[in-house]
Every structure is written in structure tokens, then in C-alpha cells.
Amino acid sequence: MSEQSCGGIKLLWYSLPSKASSGIKTMAGKQKRQPQRSCVGCREVKNKKEMLRVVRTTVGSVEYDPSGKKSGRGTYVCPAKECIDAAISRGALARALAMPVSRTELEEMRRALYEAISQTTLEKDNI
């Protein structure tokens, strides 16, 4: 069906250019709405929605942000232990947030992120 309508747009291009171009615009707009972020642990670029967000809040603390909407400087990590560990132990997290993060805060963050990925796994199991 989608292939057929694509062909239709192509054919329309000759007779109705305005209609065809508006169709193309919609398609391009849809593709653009997939924000990508690179992981602070492995540097891989992934869909933002699949990642965990860590934010430096406006008061200067570091928090895990499940909503992804907290204001502040955010950074992203894959929901994987290897990436969380890399981000924490290599100091990549502090670098990405451009702030010093204490050992305690780092350990708390690691725990929060571990919890976040174990919850995701549980939810999947329940479904």
C-alpha cells in the first residue's frame, strides 16, 4: 500500500506539483522526529527514547531523569551495565556534564541507573 501511494505521488508530480510536494514534506517531517543522542559510555548514537538521561540540575546536583524532561544540562547513557560502568568509572559522566561529581554522587547515580534498567527488565517480563 505504501509503495503504491509513493508511485501515486510520483505520477502526480507531473500534473499536480503542489499536492505532490506537500506529500513529500510530510514524509520528511516524520523522519526528522527521531532525536538521537550519543551514549556517554560507549559513544554509540542511539534513539534518545531508548536511553537513560542523567541531568545536571539547575541547583548543581546530578540526577537520573526518567521523564527526560528535567531542565538542566543532560547527558545520555544506554540502558546497559557496561555503559553505565564506563560512564561512572572513566569519569565520562562528570566530563559530559562539565562539573565535578563526587565519588558518593557517582555511586548513587550508578545505583539509580542500575535500578532503572532492572525495572525495565521487570516490566518486560510482566508483559
Greatest distance between any 2 Cα atoms in the chain: 67
Q: Which of 83, 84, 87, 101 binds Zn ion (CB under 5 A)?
A: 83
CB closer to Zn ion, 39 vs 113: 39
List of E strands, the chain = 36-38, 45-47, 52-56, 62-64, 73-77
User: Which residue type occupies 88?
Assistant: I
CB of 116 to Zn ion, least distance (A): 14
User: And the C-alpha cell for 41?
Assistant: 559510555
Q: Which of 52, 55, 78, 88 binds Zn ion (CB under 5 A)?
A: 78
Dihedral pair phi/psi, residue 73, rounded to 5°: -85, 120
8 A C-beta contact, residue 78 and residue 46: yes
CB closer to Zn ion, 62 vs 113: 113
CB closer to Zn ion, 82 vs 115: 82
CB of 76 to Zn ion, least distance (A): 9
Residues 31-60 that bind Zn ion (CB under 5 A): 39, 41-42
CB closer to Zn ion, 39 vs 62: 39
